[in-house]
A = this chain, B = another copy of it.
Amino acid sequence: MRASQFHLFTLKEAPSDAEVVSQKLMLRAGMIRKAAAGIYSYMPMALRSIRKVEAIIREEMNRAGAMELTMPLVQPAELWQETGRWDKMGPELLRLKDRHERDFAMQPTSEEVVTDIARQELKSYRQLPRNFYQIQTKFRDERRPRFGIMRGREFTMKDAYSFDRSEEAAGRSYDAMFAAYTRIFDRLGLQYRAVAADTGAIGGDRSHEFQVIADTGEDAIVYCPDSSYAANIELAEAVSLLPGRAEAKQALEKTPTPGKATCEDVAELLGVPLATTVKSLVLATDDVDDKGAPAGVTVWLLLVRGDHALNEVKAGKLEGLKAGFRFATEVEILEHFGCKPGYLGPIGQKKPVRIVADRTVADMADFICGANEADYHFTGVNWGRDLPEPDLVADIRDVVEGDPSPDGKGVLAIQRGIEVGHVFYLGTKYSKAMNATFLDEDGKPKHFEMGCYGIGVTRILGAAIEQNHDARGIVWPVAIAPFEVVICPVGWGKSEAVRDEAQKLYDTLLAQGVDVILDDRDERPGVMFADWELIGVPHRVTIGDRGLKEGLVEYQGRRDAEAGKLAAGDIAAHILGLLGKA
């Protein structure tokens, strides 16, 4: 490709509403153009990278035996009503009506449509396992689209769905997809981590997220540097940080703590470590009677150590909270505790208030908590002596850096990550809802065991940039760079020698299947360099009269601080070597 024939468009400054690095750089490099909030055009420069990502995904999906199809973007409401998702999903499911006032949804994923296909076309166990995938536009009407293409509304996703005879077979399909994802992200050239993730109502341990490591990531990834343990913070198990409960040494005392409504403030006032305090959080569940009518509110007091944070996903798995919970309102708190938030505590609480202590809190002795009276806390609190044992002891907090690894093999570290892939065992959730069955070997109908497997194609571009950039611009992994090599001739319009040498190198590399662009715009070196460093092409060759007089050209890798000189006759071989195409 010649730059003069390509649509190059770069900006010195990103638009002021751009929030994150990847968005700013993609806008400056002319890769994306905003059409509306969270809705972008992908310009030719970006599309080159997208096509490379898609090709890698497609190759590995096909290698794993999955079969590509495409399902509609606009899907009839009837299918979504069969699974109940039409009602259950919030406004992020974009609903629309056609000219005949029939209801449709824009696909955010396609479980319903693919299950409908399966129940019609997969009749026999002999057709299983089967894995269908598509690389297709998706729409999620995010309340606040942001971060450019990282959390857009319209985006490209690869979604795959496996159908199996049994849970064991589904496990093999899951493992095959896990392995394919590993190959895909390896080939993309990204630093990533596969982490265990929450399985929600499905249960089991078959849910993994593929997270691209980046400081700017929205997700916290917990891992153990000394073992293979890795999990999303939503799931990572937090053990008790105490060897067991110590004996009580202090007397229970009611201490004035005027205006100190946080554990931090109380610890500071009393001159004690934050780890001696206990935080009380009030949740509420809206109860219903046998007939589904409202039957009052149950209040829950959840206790975590002052330096810990409540993990809502873990809380949501507790018996009684599974069906959904909310934080109690200030009015409800006053009504149940006779006290405003900030001074609450478990002492003196009676049923129906339910008290749940985090594992560490249950092991604490002589701790500090609110006295259920404004401006007072209790110190020297001890389970059994000053209050009954908690109703429930459970893991309800986020792990923190330095916690023991749950596999007992060291301590945990935390990184930030961007979720770009997810493999998930679905069980029979959708096949039962839609009565999708096949005839098993015994001649009896059986529900499919399913799995679903997503990769955010366009999000990968954003994640790759968040992970790989510097002050000058993007630093693409070579596998997904819009071009592998750029040739910058200095004095294209003036020097025949430069033109000839540049053209010769261009022809040689093209002939070897290198994705090379020749910058024939006749711009000054500074302009060319700035553009290609912003765009992030991994390899650059500069050819100028001065060097050619000594038979030399310049090579600079995108991560190199300086250019190096090479014999003009060696440069093609050098580049081919770097690209592994020698």
Contacts and interface: CB of A to CB of B under 8 A. Distances in A.
A130 B69 contact: no
A65 B9 CA distance: 17
Counting chain B CB atoms within 10 Å of each CB, the highest count among A47, A70, A73, A120 belongs to A70
A360 B283 CA distance: 87
A98 interface: yes
Interface stretch (A38-46, A212-220, A325-333): A38-46
A137 B132 CA distance: 20
Interface residues of A, number: 53
A72 B35 contact: yes
Contact of A40 (B72, B96, B154): B72
Interface in A181-195: none
B141 A99 contact: yes
A473 interface: no
Given A7-B132, A74-B154, A68 B91 contact: no
Nearest to A116: B35
Nearest to A77: B36
B67 A33 contact: no
Contacts of A98: 94, 141, 153
A44 B69 contact: yes
Nearest to A30: B121
Contacts of A117: 33, 41, 43
B7 A130 contact: yes
A76 interface: yes
A134 to B, nearest CB: 9
A73 B154 CA distance: 8
A143 interface: yes
Given A41-B117, A130-B7, A74 B30 contact: no
A457 to B, nearest CB: 11
Nearest to A130: B7
A68 B5 CA distance: 13
A75 interface: yes
Contacts of A50: 70
A262 to B, nearest CB: 35
Contact of A35 (B43, B67, B71, B97): B71
A69 B41 CA distance: 7
Interface string A81-104: 000000000011010111100101
A47 B69 contact: yes
A68 B96 contact: no
A94 B91 contact: no
B99 A143 contact: yes
Given A65-B5, A113-B41, A121-B30, A70 B99 contact: no
7 contacts: A7-B132, A33-B117, A44-B68, A47-B69, A72-B154, A96-B96, A99-B141
